[in-house]
Amino acid sequence: MTIDEIFCCYIKNMPFKFEITHRSSESNARLGKIDTPHGRIETPAFIPVGTQATVKSLTPEELCGLGVQIILGNTYHLYLRPGHDVIGKLGGLHRFMHWDRPILTDSGGYQVFSLARLRKISDEGVTFQSHLDGSSHLLTPEKTIEIQEALGSDIMMCLDECTPYPATRAESRSSLELSIDWARRCKESRSAEGSALFGIVQGSMFEDLRARGVEALTNIGFDGYALGGLSVGAPKELMLSLAAFTLPLLPDSLPKYVMGVGYPEDLVELVSLGADMFDCVIPTRNARNGQLFVRTGTLNICNARYQDDNAPVEEGCPCYTCRHYSRAYLRHLFMAKELLACRLNTIHNVHYFMALMSNMREAVRLGRFELFKKEFYSQRAC
């Protein structure tokens, strides 16, 4: 057994723990590590979304090869299909999907938000109709914890009401108070040892409501804190302004997670503000739609200019796609609607996001984050 293998065995089955190892002297960017029952996560970290117990088109081995440390499982979807009871009987989500690294599960709150015409919210929870067969279900804070514990999540999320944008102050306050009450009930119903539970700060676009959310959730006490409702249609400037206001209010010694974000520029800005964790469907969804991320911005592979272009997606990129395939071939696959197009595009985009996070971690470690940020934007101006 190698030293690395011994180390991996040692950090697995560890209780949840977060430690900050480096801080930027020029910004709020920070480098840390999270120990979980299924291994260590170096932060800042980006979490690819595995909605149906899979990151679309990629195998777990490919994800590991791309440097993915943690994935996100979707509580709502896995509850409906195949069912958390089925997954629990089969040994939990890690065994079910052949993934032995950390898993974060969301609470289902965002999915309920996105199905506004199929749900009704009350103090008890959310009654909704399945988008699969129309059957009726009640999702309560207690139920979301039951589901996530059956899945065997390393990091569980509290049920919250994702406040839409725009929303009035009265609507936002009411939604916030409901989310706070649900967070309290989630913590009271928690029973799993080792797994972490994060609270989610809502409050829409009102700074005082965000501050109220932070105060209430920190009084309840969680293992980490997330900012929710920042990626539901608000202008980017407002999203960043709210993050800049709220992140410093969160406990400095615990992970700070911005949910549903985002594009590369968003990640760079939010890391600079002190965020540690992110998740988003952008790298995988955009890959399936033919958009590839490169140092200078994005490349739309369906563009006719790439029809006979023998260059890789990006010169110097070491990912499997760029080492073996040309833009012309990728365009051909995409235009022909071949499944391989989704796989190759996704490999490149996930690699891009993992490399971006790795480069930011290294920049914080070396005390050169602001120089990294300047170089990042200078390349995109080309």
| Catalytic residue positions, numbered | 106, 279
Strand partners, 31: 22
Neighbour tally for 112: CB within 10 Å: 22
For residue 262, say if its preceding peptide bond is cis, omega within 30 degrees of 0. Answer: yes
